[in-house]
Chains A and B, each alone.
Chain A
Amino acid sequence: MHGESELAAQVIFGWDPLWVSSILFVATYVLIISEKVNRAIVAGMGAGLMVVLGVLNQETAISGIDFNTLGLLTGMMVIVAITRGSGIFQYVAVWSAKKVNASPWGILFMLSLVTALFSALLDNVTTVLLIAPVTLLISHELKIDPYPFLFAEIFASNIGGTATLIGDPPNIMIGSAVGLSFNQFIINLAPIIPLIFAVTLGIIYLVWGRSMHAAADARERIMRFKEKDAITDVRLLKQSMFVLTLVISGFVLAHPLRLEPATIAMFGAALLLLLSNFKNDAEEQSEEVNKTFAGVEWITIFFFIGLFIAVKGIEEAGVLRILADIVINFTDGDLTVTALTILWVSAIASAVVDNIPFVATMIPVIKSMAPTFGGAEYLMPLWWSLALGACLGGNGSLVGASANLIVAGFAERAGHRIRFLTFMLMAFPMMLLSIGIASFYVYFRYL
């Protein structure tokens, strides 16, 4: 880390790097929250100014970028972009609806379960992007309000995503920064997820599920849906399932294989690109690869790059050390109080602002607490608290997670507007309840 005096000499006009970096970072944060300018542009400007104004030199700025997070995100996005073309997600959604004889509550339960499972293994946005249209179609056929279904799926996507390393970007960031494996996430976070999922669905049942009814002829129409029609490319389906299985197995065996998750994901992406383009000529391959890469959320990737550099700026300037000291003073250096504070603050913050910049900021803050708690190995409860808070907190409001907004967008365009306050009145207390359950879990398991 640079000394402050060294930094002060580098910052233009000899300005105090602490103030320059803080002002830049707060301005970046405010602009991200305002959503007036695209978040990739804001993060890019914040990062650029950190370097141009001399808070960071170029080498330090680059060293702040977590390429493992970027590689894992990009690799999984490529795999999902190809896999979704096979129609497997919609196949499973329709199949699961028919498995419960098209009973409305059964469908709600099954679609929520499917959403949670897919969200644990893929990204939440893709999952809801594929499940929400089927949900709207089914609820329209059943002539019942789609809101409870969509509400349950929003919760299921964020709850399911909490369970694994690859389920939600905050987990990817935490896993990469701390060196936590796929298995460690499964062992430490997955055990509490079924309980939170069950409690959530229990409440939804009490509020809406008991009064859900559909006419026999409407249910019969659902039973006549042909899920096989959803499969548009059987060969691609087989290839995708093969690579997905390989990648998930790779994550599980990453430690003995001595491979980083990003390497596994990127290799899986390359393999699936190869298999899916095997019979194409050079021109067709270029076209297909271009199409696949267009499915990668580059805005998110560049947002991460900018954010990593911006966070590096305040870290080098000593801002995060001060922030960590404030937290330690507030919690009196007590691990239990610190863990629960991180859990609750990250949940509430993630309900109202994007959890990615929040987690990016918190990672170095928590890392710098290591000496207070006797070393990095004693920080584990704090990491699990951050992961649980940041992921589950996304359920607190419509803007809490990107997946929530995707569902709301689909609903609105189908003539079923989900109002911000209506959603939050029900969702925020339910999110707090899930954090309450997570608090007991963290306390009894780690503290």
Chain B
Amino acid sequence: MNVEQVLISTRVAKAGMTVRELFDECDRANTPGLPFCDVSGRIIGRVTLKNVLKHGCLPDYVVETAHILGEQFSNLQDIQAEVELLLNNTVDQYKQEPHLSITPTSSAVKALAMMEREDTSYIFVVDEGRYKGTVTIHHLASMLARCGDPLT
């Protein structure tokens, strides 16, 4: 099995894309992030749900005190209000370095090994500089469960 068989086509993030659009696309494709491309379509970075949420509405001190946050915690309401504002922001400010990538003809084993090595659960599939889609560990497991094929 090569990654072409399990990749999920997604939109790419571009300058001006809103956080709401990012959330919708990640929700639709069930991926944790999208590649960030320039106007020519070249991948110049990535935007992820985790990074947007962390920097958009989750202050460090809330993360550090996660264990003692009570149900009556008033900050939660403030954070919910911040999310409303966050959705209208553009994703540009949350752009990170480009993510791992692999070619469509690579084997699923290679994709899994690279994900394990970099301690991530997804990898972008790129062919001659053009983004083709994303492979996630979730999709790989789902495919395996359905077909029972070996990873070759």
Contact = CB atoms under 8 A, between A and B. Distances in A.
Interface stretch (B26-34, B40-48, B70-78): B70-78
A133 B68 CA distance: 11
Contacts of B74: 140-141, 143, 218, 221
A414 B70 contact: no
A291 to B, nearest CB: 13
Interface stretch (A41-49, A189-197, A226-234): A226-234
Contact of B62 (A137, A226, A227, A229): A137
Interface in B48-84: 59-65, 67-70, 72-75, 78
B70 A137 contact: no
Contacts of B65: 90, 133-134, 137
Given A140-B75, A141-B75, A133 B64 contact: yes
Interface residues of B, number: 16
Contact of A413 (B60, B67, B68, B75): B60
Contacts of B63: 133
Interface string A196-224: 00000000000000000000001001001
Contact of A221 (B60, B64, B70): B70
Nearest to A91: B68
A225 interface: yes
A128 to B, nearest CB: 12
Interface string A122-157: 000000001011101100110100000000000000
B89 to A, nearest CB: 16
A90 B72 contact: no
B67 A87 contact: yes
A415 interface: yes
Contact of B61 (A87, A137, A143): A137
A416 to B, nearest CB: 10
A358 interface: no
B68 A229 contact: yes
Contacts of B67: 87, 90, 229-230, 232
Contacts of B59: 136, 413-415
Interface majority SS (helix, strand, loop, mixed), chain A:
helix
Contacts of B75: 137, 140-141
Contact of B68 (A218, A225, A410): A225
A90 B68 CA distance: 8
Nearest to A231: B67
Contacts of B69: 137
A415 B75 CA distance: 13
Contact of A414 (B60, B68, B72, B73): B60
A137 B61 CA distance: 7
Contacts of A230: 67-68
B62 A410 contact: no
Contact of B60 (A133, A134, A218, A229): A133
Contacts of A94: 68
B61 A133 contact: yes
A154 to B, nearest CB: 16
A137 B65 CA distance: 8
Contacts of A143: 74
A226 B72 CA distance: 11
Contacts of B64: 130, 133-134
A221 B61 contact: no
Nearest to B55: A413
B35 to A, nearest CB: 27
Given A90-B65, A134-B65, A137-B75, A410 B60 contact: yes
**What are the 7 A-B residue pairs with the smallest beta carbon separation, nearest first?**
A133-B64, A133-B61, A136-B61, A414-B59, A137-B65, A413-B60, A230-B68
Interface of B: 59-65, 67-70, 72-75, 78
Given A132-B61, A133-B63, A221-B70, 4 more contacts: A94-B68, A137-B69, A221-B73, A413-B61
22 contacts: A87-B67, A90-B67, A90-B68, A133-B62, A134-B61, A134-B68, A136-B59, A136-B61, A137-B62, A137-B68, A137-B69, A140-B78, A218-B74, A221-B72, A221-B73, A224-B72, A225-B68, A225-B70, A230-B68, A410-B61, A413-B59, A414-B59
